[in-house]
Copies of this chain bind each other. A is one copy, B any other.
Amino acid sequence: MPAFDQAIALTSIGENLYGGATSAAYANMVGPFGGVTAATVLNAVLKHPALLGEPVALTVNFAAALASGPFTVEARPVRTNRSTQHWVMQISQADENDQASTVLTATAVTAARRETWSVDEEPMPEVARPDSVARPNMAAMVEWVKRYDIRILEGQIPVVWNGAGNSSRTTLWVRDEPERPLDFASLTALADVFFPRVWLRRATAVPAGTVSMTVYFHADGAQLGSHGTDWLLGQARAQALRNGFFDQTALLWSAGGRLLATSHQIVYFKA
C-alpha cells in the first residue's frame, strides 16, 4: 500500500467512529503534515456507509498538534437533503490524563453533482513543463516533503533569510511520490503543500502553523480518475499578513489546465 494510503487508513470502530494513527512518513516539525490529517478526516466521510455524493467543501480546524500514535475520527452526517449532505467531524486523542481531547474540528458538504454549463474563470498560468524544472534540494526538510515531487517555478523557499522578500506567490508543479492516482483525499493533502507564505513575503523564517483550512472541490470523481498520476500545477499567495495571522489562497489545476480545487487557509505566525 502506498505511504499515503497507509497514512490516511481508518478502521471502523463504531457508529460514526473510525480509528487511525499518525504516520512517520508524513511527519512535520510538530505532529503530522496537516494536509494528510485533513485527508484522513475526509476519508472518514468517504468511507461512511451513509455517504451521499462526493465532496464539494471541506473545512478543517487544527486545534492542537496531533501526538504520535492512535487517534479517533468521528464523522456524523447531520443533515441529508435530496442532493446534498452536511457532515460534522472531529479528531480526538487521549491526553496526558487519558481523557479524550479534541485536536481537530471539521465540517464537510457532499453532493450528487449533475453536468451543467461550466467555465473556469482562473486560467492556468503559462509555465515551463515540470521535466524542464530542477527539483529543489529539500533533503534537509521535514519528512513529509519527501512524499511529494515538487518543481518550483516561482517563489522558492528563500536561500538567504535577509528580510528582503517582496511577493508571497509560489507557483509549482507537484505530484505524489511515489506516483499515486489522484483522488479526493490526495487532492486535499496537495492543497496544503505550500510552505508558509510569511517565509517568502518577509524572507524571514518564523514559526508558522495552519489554524484553519478550506478546500472546494471543482472536479468530480470521474474527472479526478481521468487525471491519474499526472502533474498538478499549484499556485499560492497571501492576501493579508497581520498581527500574527496570514491567509493563504491556493489554486490547483490539472496539467491540461482544468481547475480541480481552490483552497484557503489562515495561518498563525510568530513575529
**Is A116 part of the binding interface, using a Cβ–Cβ cutoff of 8 Å?**
yes
Judged by DSSP, the binding face of A is strand
When A109-B211, A202-B117 are in contact, do A240 and B122 touch as well, CB less than 8 Å?
A: yes
Q: How far is the CA of A113 from the CA of B88 in the complex (A)?
A: 28
Copies in the complex: 2
**Is A78 part of the binding interface, using a Cβ–Cβ cutoff of 8 Å?**
yes
CB-based contact A201/B119 at 8 Å: yes
What per-residue 1/0 map shows which CB atoms of A99-115 lie under 8 Å from chain B? 00111011101010111
**Is A48 part of the binding interface, using a Cβ–Cβ cutoff of 8 Å?**
no
A61 contacts across to B, CB distance below 8 A: 57, 59, 86, 107, 109
- Give the residues from 73 to 96 in chain A that come closer than 8 angstroms, CB to CB, to chain B: 78-79, 81, 84, 86, 88, 90
Contact of A241 among B63, B113, B119, B237 (CB under 8 A): B119
Task: From A31-39, A136-144, A145-153, A216-224, give the one contacting chain B.
Answer: A216-224
The chain A residues found within 8 Å of chain B, CB to CB, are: 56-57, 59, 61, 63-64, 78-79, 81, 84, 86, 88, 90, 101-103, 105-107, 109, 111, 113-122, 167-168, 201-202, 211-212, 214, 216, 218-220, 237-245, 247, 249, 251, 259, 262, 264, 266, 268-271
Given A59-B107, A78-B102, A116-B243, 10 more A-B residue pairs with CB atoms under 8 Å apart are: A57-B211, A57-B212, A63-B84, A88-B88, A105-B107, A116-B269, A118-B241, A121-B240, A212-B216, A218-B242
